Amino acid sequence: MNRLMCLLICFFVFETQGFEIPTNGLPEFAEYGDLVELAPGKFQFVLENRRYQRSVFGESGEVMEEADQVTLYSYKVQSTITSRMANTIIQTKLVNNSPQPQNVVFDVQIPKGAFISNFSMTVDGTTFTSSIREKTVGRALYSQARAKGKTTGLVRSRALDMENFQTEVNILPGAKVQFELHYQEVKWRKLGSYEHRLHLQPGRLAKHLEVDVWVIEPQGIRFLHVPDTFDGHFDGVPVISKGQQKAHVSFKPSVARQRKCSNCSETAVDGELVVMYDVNREEKAGELEVFNGYFVHFFAPENLDPIPKNILFVIDVSGSMWGIKMKQTVEAMKTILDDLRAEDQFSVIDFNHNVRTWRNDLVSATRTQVTDAKKYIEKIQPSGGTNINEALLRAIFILNEANNLGLLDPESVSLIILVSDGDPTVGELKLSKIQKNVKQHIRDNISLFSLGIGFDVDYDFLKRLSNENRGIAQRIYGNQDTSSQLKKFYNQVSTPLLRNVQFNYPHISVSDVTQNSFHNYFGGSEIVVAGKFNPDKLEQLQSIITATSANTELVLETLAQMDDLEDFLSKDKHADPNFTKKLWAYLTINQLLAERSLAPTAASKRKITKTILQMSLDHHILTPLTTMVIENEAGDERMLADSPPQDHSCCSGALYYGNKVASNSVPSWVNPSPTPRIPMPVLGAQVLEATPPPHVMRVENDPHFIIYLPKNEKNICFNIDSEPGKILNLVSDPESGILVNGELIGAKKPKNEKLRTYFGKLGFYFQREDVKVEISTETITLSRGSRTSILSWSDTAHVINHRVLVSVKKEQTVTITLDKDMSFSVLLHRVWKKHPVNVDFLGIYVPPTNKFSPKAHGLIGQFMHEPKIRIFNERPGKDPEKPEASMEVKGHTLIVTRGLQKDYRTDRVFGTDVSCWFVHNSGKGFIDGHYKDYFVPQLYSFLKRP
């Protein structure tokens, strides 16, 4: 297997007067921890390698043959993932059992973008530890040691997409050596899951091979599995233990299972152990976690309709693409085109020294157009040079022109995907000029994604180009797997769900926030924002997220669950108590490195550099501005480790590169007036709780209707005794196009031989706006035309859909406001899940208004135009506490009883007593006709009146 050597490759300087290692001829490790107990000795670094053939006996007497007579005593990998922050330790212990010196190599592949935080090695009792220094300081220490003739090693690295940490030492007979590497990384969600990859490469059979992965996710683990990445060789070896919020994966093959075959001396452990998982997020769109003075905000909403996209594929067809690269690109493009949605618009540009377009304009992704585009791509014959500048400007022109002519859906997303395998050779050759041209012409509603095939392309240029224009770059390997890599990347950006996503926090208690404004959010991914939080300034942290979905403006409020998280983490010994701090540092340093590459002036670049350097030292992590000094306790034997050259993109593996905005720059529509509740304070704004209108029409419990008649200043109430599944019309106004219906659900079982019914679902239809709102005890669904958005009762959110504002207060109320002067409130009533009788249900509150037409009707709607009533002859009733009276209404004289009903708007547990006159027999005489006249067949059916 060809491995790419790119991170921390050791070049050791061989000294003529080397240091020898005194040994006691110990054959192997007696105990797991005995390595550090050996007497200190000196050692030398050599370049030659001496190999001998021998056999050693392992567990249960099985033979372990080693060509180089070095026994790998143990190979242990331990990873802990706490809320997406992964810490990994790789440790190996080896012993030289041969009579001759042997080279020992520690070779580890680590994920690109991971931060190395620590490295140590112990050679026959002499321990080398690491420290992070500013690069010039580290190099000075190295030069100082070398000038004195002491043993030194220079460790350098080169960054490709796979990174290796490799060091090699020569040990004398009987010597033991231990290596230990620590690194940390953030798990980025892609296509609906997180992947934790551990590259296992012990190089030989290990007496003790142990891999442990602990996953601790406060949100809860939705699924976790370990795919087979070793062609079935280790079937049944990985052991998975999964709880609600914690999981453990153990991989501990015996020596016999490690062998490639029963008689083989080679190990089959040479590949990746992959752990895939996702967290629970059905109940809420965001998770705000606060711990130890830092916060992390995870945002991955689902149940949203995709936003239509305008996409231009810009494909390099120069001569260098000839062969497998072009074949694989064509194969991928055919699949990608088939995946376009009917509402998408697209075109294809191919370029070499010239630029061609399949269509000069964007066209709808109909089956006919897609078929024609695929035929066009199949006929491409690579040749000529590479004119990247003109190709990108042509794509930008097509999108700008379509926008100017009003041909783009204003709610759509515009994307350019560039696929190229080389630097420009025709036209504009200066990369900085191409970057400037693109920036000058591209509009701020277009995102540019760049895919660099192979290693001839200037990948840093593609990163700068994309980061500066609201996209990212990704390297694609030019091999048999090119097609699947291209398709996988497209799938990540194929489903835009939100535009203009912005996170806001109260400045009084929050500081040093990472990027908090993002151009798009794509389905299956996750946006992560972090910062510092001062609990002395504010006891609780609350956030506001603003965004635009396919058909609505959205505001989400999230309140951090601080005490619960602290209690949860304290009970798990594997949980990392510093995960928030590490995650914040990881994001901040990566984002600063990206900003540094785009800094407009030397002064701003120096300022950013200073910040990165200080953070690297404070958090003890290796970055492009620091170096790792590895030395013995005396400081006279020293090695130097540099990190990879600067990666100009942020956060390897992340799908987003955003920017920072001030907390007071929330859109004006966040605070529409009036609203049921003004969101959290931003820059000192006051929190206002709207006072519920004192007199409203209500439906509560099983179901009790309370009709307030303002002219008479009376509450009249009645019950409807029906059966589960029936849909009652509450408001039907076909002239103004407003409809409210409610579907009944039943209790779990009868009580006193009567099955109570409640409203379990309510439907609101605003015909002129073509907006439907369905509210159940589980979700809130908003629909406009064919587009749908789903909110949860676990979110606090505001959604604006044309003239309709829907406000959700977490686990309490939904308020629907039309044109700011007509509103409906829905209360959620939760009961104990194991209650033998009761079920969750909804209550509805409707303030009186004159905005309905004279034709408004329904069990509530008919009273928007108040009937004349007269209540007289009040007298004692059968129950001394419930007097009776006579009421004249609509030509009827009814016997009514005075009683109390409940209003739960201000006291959600016990309610507030409301005095009313009760009409018996399901409101007969007070409502028009019989209550069965108000049955409708569907949740959005208008009432048909005779």
Number of Cβ within 10 Å of residue 341's Cβ equals 12
Strand 206-216 vs strand 70-82: parallel, antiparallel, or unpaired?
parallel
Contact status, residue 102 vs residue 96, Cβ threshold 8 Å: yes
pLDDT of residue 644: 57
Strand 912-919 vs strand 892-903: parallel, antiparallel, or unpaired?
antiparallel
pLDDT of residue 459: 85
d(Cα 751, Cα 758) in Å, to the nearest integer?
A: 14
- pLDDT tens string 219-274: 999 999 999 999 999 999 999 999 999 999 999 999 999 999 988 889 999 999 99
- Phi, psi (rounded to 5 degrees) for 716: -115, 135
- What is the mean predicted confidence (pLDDT) over 309-327? 94
Burial (CB count <10 Å: 0-12, 13-18, 19+), residue 138: buried
Comparing CA positions, the residue from 17, 197, 233 lying closest to residue 111 is 197
pLDDT of residue 108: 86
Angle, helix 388-404 to helix 431-441, in steps of 10 degrees: 0
pLDDT of residue 60: 42
- What is the mean predicted confidence (pLDDT) over 684-709? 67
pLDDT of residue 95: 92
Contact status, residue 631 vs residue 139, Cβ threshold 8 Å: no
Under the banding of pLDDT at 50, 70 and 90, the label for residue 31 is very low
Segments in 171-273 forming alpha helices (H): 255-258
Mean pLDDT lowest among 519-533, 566-580, 644-658, 796-810:
644-658
- What is the mean predicted confidence (pLDDT) over 206-229? 95
pLDDT value at 5 more than 50: no
| Joined tokens for residue 814 | 């939904």
pLDDT of residue 437: 96
pLDDT value at 2 more than 50: no
Residue count of the chain: 946
Under the banding of pLDDT at 50, 70 and 90, the label for residue 650 is low
pLDDT value at 346 more than 70: yes
Helix (H, G, I), strand (E, B) or coil at 636: coil
- Phi, psi (rounded to 5 degrees) for 66: -130, 120
d(Cα 421, Cα 191) in Å, to the nearest integer?
A: 25
d(Cα 445, Cα 229) in Å, to the nearest integer?
A: 41
Bigger pLDDT: 155 or 858?
858
pLDDT value at 290 more than 60: yes
d(Cα 588, Cα 531) in Å, to the nearest integer?
A: 9
Q: DSSP secondary-structure letter at 351?
A: E
Under the banding of pLDDT at 50, 70 and 90, the label for residue 304 is confident
pLDDT of residue 693: 58
Bigger pLDDT: 5 or 792?
792
pLDDT of residue 8: 35
Contact status, residue 386 vs residue 316, Cβ threshold 8 Å: yes
pLDDT of residue 149: 57
What is the C-alpha R_g of the chain? 34
Under the banding of pLDDT at 50, 70 and 90, the label for residue 681 is very low
**Amino acid letter at 166?**
Q
Bigger pLDDT: 656 or 64?
656
pLDDT of residue 563: 74
Report which listed range, 182-186, 647-651, 899-903, is most confident: 182-186
- pLDDT tens string 154-196: 444 444 445 777 777 888 888 999 999 999 999 999 999 999 9
- What is the mean predicted confidence (pLDDT) over 844-856? 87
d(Cα 189, Cα 576) in Å, to the nearest integer?
A: 20
pLDDT of residue 10: 36
- What is the mean predicted confidence (pLDDT) over 448-471? 89
d(Cα 803, Cα 769) in Å, to the nearest integer?
A: 7
Comparing CA positions, the residue from 617, 637, 619, 643 lying closest to residue 141 is 637
Q: DSSP secondary-structure letter at 61?
A: G
Q: DSSP secondary-structure letter at 402?
A: H
- What is the mean predicted confidence (pLDDT) over 605-624? 91
Number of Cβ within 10 Å of residue 331's Cβ equals 17
Mean pLDDT lowest among 130-144, 205-219, 434-448:
130-144
pLDDT value at 666 more than 70: no
| Joined tokens for residue 157 | 């690295």
d(Cα 705, Cα 717) in Å, to the nearest integer?
A: 5
Burial (CB count <10 Å: 0-12, 13-18, 19+), residue 334: middle
Q: Give the chain's largest Cα–Cα span.
A: 119
Mean pLDDT lowest among 387-391, 442-446, 910-914:
910-914
pLDDT of residue 279: 95
Helix (H, G, I), strand (E, B) or coil at 443: coil
pLDDT value at 9 more than 60: no
Average pLDDT, the chain: 84
pLDDT of residue 848: 77
- pLDDT tens string 753-810: 889 999 999 999 999 999 999 999 999 999 988 888 888 898 888 888 778 999 998 8
pLDDT value at 19 more than 70: no
Question: For a pLDDT cut of 90, what percent of the chain falls above it?
Answer: 55
Report which listed range, 100-109, 112-121, 698-707, 931-940, is most confident: 931-940
Which residues, listed in sequence order, are joined to residue 549 by a DSSP beta bridge? Answer: none
Which H or E run includes 532? strand 527-533
pLDDT value at 641 more than 80: no
Q: Which residue has the tokens 């003739």?
A: 149
Mean pLDDT lowest among 600-604, 789-793, 846-850:
846-850
Strand 473-476 vs strand 496-504: parallel, antiparallel, or unpaired?
unpaired
d(Cα 392, Cα 71) in Å, to the nearest integer?
A: 56
Comparing CA positions, the residue from 467, 419, 415, 472 lying closest to residue 445 is 415
**Amino acid letter at 929?**
G
Strand 697-700 vs strand 638-642: parallel, antiparallel, or unpaired?
unpaired
- Phi, psi (rounded to 5 degrees) for 242: -125, 130
Question: For a pLDDT cut of 70, what percent of the chain falls above it?
Answer: 85
Q: What is the DSSP string of 637-696?
A: SEEEEE-PSPP-SSSTT-S---B---TT---GGGS-SS-SB----STTPPP-BPPPPSS-
pLDDT value at 695 more than 50: yes
Under the banding of pLDDT at 50, 70 and 90, the label for residue 686 is very low
Q: What is the 3-state secondary structure (H, E, C) of 722-789?
A: CCCCCEEEEEEECCCCEEEEEEEEECCCCECCECCEEEEEEEEEECCCCEEEEEECCEEEEEECCEEE
d(Cα 652, Cα 663) in Å, to the nearest integer?
A: 27
d(Cα 736, Cα 41) in Å, to the nearest integer?
A: 91
Segments in 405-523 forming alpha helices (H): 431-441, 459-467, 482-493
